[in-house]
Amino acid sequence: MKQEQFLNVVSAEEAHRIFNEAVRPQPLGEEQVPLTESLGRVLSRNIISTIDVPFFDRSNVDGFALRAQDTFGAEESAPLFLNLTDEIIHTAVAPQVEVREGMATGIATGGVIPRGADAVLMVEYTTPRDGGIMVYRSIVPGAAISFAGTDIGSGETVLQRRTRLTSRETGVLAAIGRADIPVFRRPRVAILSTGDEIIPPGEQMKLGDIYDSNGTIIADAVTEIGCEPVRLGIVKDDVNKLKAVLAKALKCDFVLLSGGTSKGAGDLNYIVVADLGAPGILVHGVALKPGKPLCLAMIGDTPLAILPGFPTSAVFTYHEFIAPVLRIMAGFGEERRGSLPAKMPMRVNSEKGRTEFLLVNLVEGEGGYSAYPMGKGSGSVTSFSKADGFIAIDRNSEIVEEGELVQVTLIGRELSPADLIVIGSQCVGVDYLLSLMSDEGWHVKFIPVGSQGGLAAAMRQECDVAGLHLLDEKTGVYNAPFLDDSLELVKGYGRKQGLLFRPGDVRFEGKQPREAMAAVLADRECLMINRNRGSGTRVLVDQLLAGAKPQGFHAEAKSHNAVAAAVHQGRVDWGVAIENVARPLELGFIPLVDEEYDFVLPKNRINRGAVQAFRALLEREETRKGLVELGMSVGAQQ
């Protein structure tokens, strides 16, 4: 039988353009699934905690809840005596008695810390004595306590949309009490292999037969990117049988066939697909090696692809043309493939006119990596599984010279490190910005260590971006005076810091900051919660108090959300935090300062792709509008 030629071989770039313009991929919609069925699914919304984790100030040991200052000076040779309250706090019991000076309350591990107590002394360092205890050790405020909201604060974005859920994320969802999870609907992908020579694994092999590896490879690859494979098995080279199976396949969201796409005897797939309906075949033949016989089509609203029969060709074309479309349909952002430079240890010839993907093994030496070609051809089943990555040889190149530097695209994107590491002060504005970065497909990591910690990390070149709000008292300027020549300042947004209190508290209601502070310092029963040392807010608190240390001064919260939670639940009476965390809890707010939250970039990282993407994100009008909706000020509003 005479073999037909491809009608119109196009470049890989043109094939991408034609197919993507026809499909216009987007997520298929949202659904709610039980937490028990959410593993592996992709979040369709940001997950914001509605509770604090821990939910309350919790004892980490069996012992006595007390005021740490009452233990100062206690030692084995000179113990101190404390009276016991009438209460013993077991787990799941709400305390009723406030711990005052010179008092202690028995408490079990996991028990709720009573009002007035700021530390727990282990029972091992006490002995009972006449209705009280003898204390043999001094402890510091916060000892043996897990404060509410120190792990997760109410209102905190704990997971970003487009995150694929692993056991780590489902554990977080369980910890905040989420039973129903919003996820993108999984695309259903019909998969069938064709050819008289194809048999399923398990059948007796005879001369001329080929086990169907493509069906398994593609089905599992589809599953790996959050789609649901619909396995339709093997179809022999029979037009009527193929039409019947394709009629069922087209009820899915995407159809993938392998084999039967060349123009030789027995290759029927492209003929049958051409008769299925408009718009029909879009591309048949790509200037690509391996993968020239690739066929791309649209039948009504359903994308369809016929992958080459050879395994390496099928896998390459799947990952190059099909997986990016399915990822978007499944709710992921665009894939950012990891890559690294390497030298070719030998000369490689390529066929001019076709983009060639060459699988390589990486070997590390003193001068960096070398990329050794696998060289097993498009029919190899093992090449892709054993390769470290691949290089793309341009269609206009015929030779890659020995010693030439090439860029290796790594196989196994999930093993690469984060694209963007942000360290610094915690803020809902940062949560918002990193969520947008995640939407664009960047893998981001945020480590909240406070403004001073972020600045130090940037100076040590340990992060890509540091977020800070540090005021220089001498100049009245935020952030810029603290930078050295290795750093660059990128303006962020403005936000309000102030005193948080419960509405109706006469010590704060309707008062200016100085009046409120006078009331605080005059009332020894008025409890505060401080911020962690190293944070920009702690600097503000220290300036506000001017050396005074009211009750609760030594208890430190690690986030704005934790401060708001402590005030809202009545565990303390006041604290300093941003206005954004006060609003949802309907707390009172006395403004202290309009501060500038900016970003610092180590100059030696500025040219990284993710850093450039972050800078571009800050400049967009829609980003600015989103920050304003969160209560921030940008541009002229700052």
Q: Which residue from 59, 60, 62, 58 is spatially nearest to 123, judged by alpha carbons?
A: 62
Per-residue confidence band for 4, with pLDDT thresholds at 50, 70 and 90: very low
What is the number of residues in the chain? 638
**pLDDT, tens digit, for every residue of 354-410?**
788 888 877 665 577 778 777 645 555 666 777 788 888 888 788 888 888 998 888
Report the alpha-carbon distance of residue 11 to residue 8 in Å, rounded.
10
Residue 303, pLDDT above cutoff 60: yes
Element (H, E) at 192: strand 188-194
Q: How far is CA 470 from the centre of its chain?
A: 27
Can you tell me which residue has the tokens 């340990």? 462
Element (H, E) at 256: strand 254-258
Report the alpha-carbon distance of residue 112 to residue 148 in Å, rounded.
10
pLDDT of 366: 59
Report the alpha-carbon distance of residue 468 to residue 450 in Å, rounded.
7
pLDDT of 412: 63
Tokens at 202, concatenated: 């398990």
| Structural contact between residues 306 and 258, judged by C-beta atoms closer than 8 angstroms | yes
| Structural contact between residues 126 and 134, judged by C-beta atoms closer than 8 angstroms | yes
pLDDT of 6: 47
Secondary structure of 543-610 as H, E, C letters: HHHCCCCCCCCCCEECCHHHHHHHHHCCCCCEEEEEHHHHCCCCCEEEEEEEEEEEEEEEHHHCCCHH
Sign of CA dihedral 149, 153, 154, 160: negative
pLDDT of 212: 82
| Structural contact between residues 158 and 48, judged by C-beta atoms closer than 8 angstroms | yes
Per-residue confidence band for 260, with pLDDT thresholds at 50, 70 and 90: low
Q: For 172-177, what is the mean pLDDT?
A: 95
| Structural contact between residues 462 and 445, judged by C-beta atoms closer than 8 angstroms | no
- At residue 465, φ and ψ (nearest 5 deg) are -140, 140
Can you tell me which residue has the tokens 């130090």? 456
Per-residue confidence band for 9, with pLDDT thresholds at 50, 70 and 90: confident
Report the alpha-carbon distance of residue 48 to residue 37 in Å, rounded.
20
**pLDDT, tens digit, for every residue of 556-603?**
887 888 899 899 989 999 999 999 889 889 999 999 988 999 999 999
**pLDDT, tens digit, for every residue of 207-233?**
788 888 888 989 999 998 899 999 999
Can you tell me which residue has the tokens 């909201």? 149
Q: What is the dihedral of CA 243, 247, 253, 258, to 10 degrees?
A: -20
Report the alpha-carbon distance of residue 144 to residue 63 in Å, rounded.
9
pLDDT of 313: 84
Q: Which residue from 518, 522, 531, 523 is spatially nearest to 567, judged by alpha carbons?
A: 531
**pLDDT, tens digit, for every residue of 316-344?**
889 889 999 999 999 987 777 778 888 88
Which residue type does 455 have?
A: L
Tokens at 352, concatenated: 């001019």
Per-residue confidence band for 352, with pLDDT thresholds at 50, 70 and 90: confident
Residue 262, pLDDT above cutoff 60: no
Question: Could you give the domains of the chain?
Answer: 34-53+161-184 (3.90.105.10), 58-146 (2.170.190.11), 186-329 (3.40.980.10), 339-415 (2.40.340.10), 417-638 (3.40.190.290)
- Within a 10 A sphere around the Cβ of 168, how many other Cβ atoms? 8
Structure pTM? 0.74
| Structural contact between residues 249 and 272, judged by C-beta atoms closer than 8 angstroms | no
Return the axis-axis angle of helices 513-522 and 536-545, rounded to nearest 10°.
Answer: 70
Q: What is the dihedral of CA 458, 491, 579, 584, to 10 degrees?
A: -90
**pLDDT, tens digit, for every residue of 229-254?**
999 998 888 888 989 999 999 999 99
Can you tell me which residue has the tokens 């503000």? 540
Burial bucket for residue 87 (CB in 10 Å: 0-12, 13-18, 19+): middle
Tell me the DSSP string of 380-431: -SSHHHH-SEEEEE-TT--EE-TT-EEEEEES-GGGSPPSEEEEE---HHHH
Least confident interval from 69-73, 258-262, 406-410: 258-262
Which residue type does 289 have?
A: K
Region of residue 208 (left: phi > 0; alpha: psi -120 to 50; beta: else): left
**pLDDT, tens digit, for every residue of 20-69?**
999 999 999 999 999 999 999 999 999 999 998 999 999 999 999 999 99
Q: Show Cβ contacts of residue 370 under 8 Å, excluding neighbours closer than 6 positions.
A: 342, 343, 344, 345, 362, 363, 364
| Structural contact between residues 599 and 467, judged by C-beta atoms closer than 8 angstroms | yes
| Structural contact between residues 578 and 467, judged by C-beta atoms closer than 8 angstroms | no
pLDDT of 104: 97
Report the alpha-carbon distance of residue 10 to residue 286 in Å, rounded.
5
Residue 16, pLDDT above cutoff 50: yes
Secondary structure of 290-329 as H, E, C letters: CCCCCEEEEECCEEEEEECCCHHHHHHHHHHHHHHHHHHH
Burial bucket for residue 638 (CB in 10 Å: 0-12, 13-18, 19+): middle
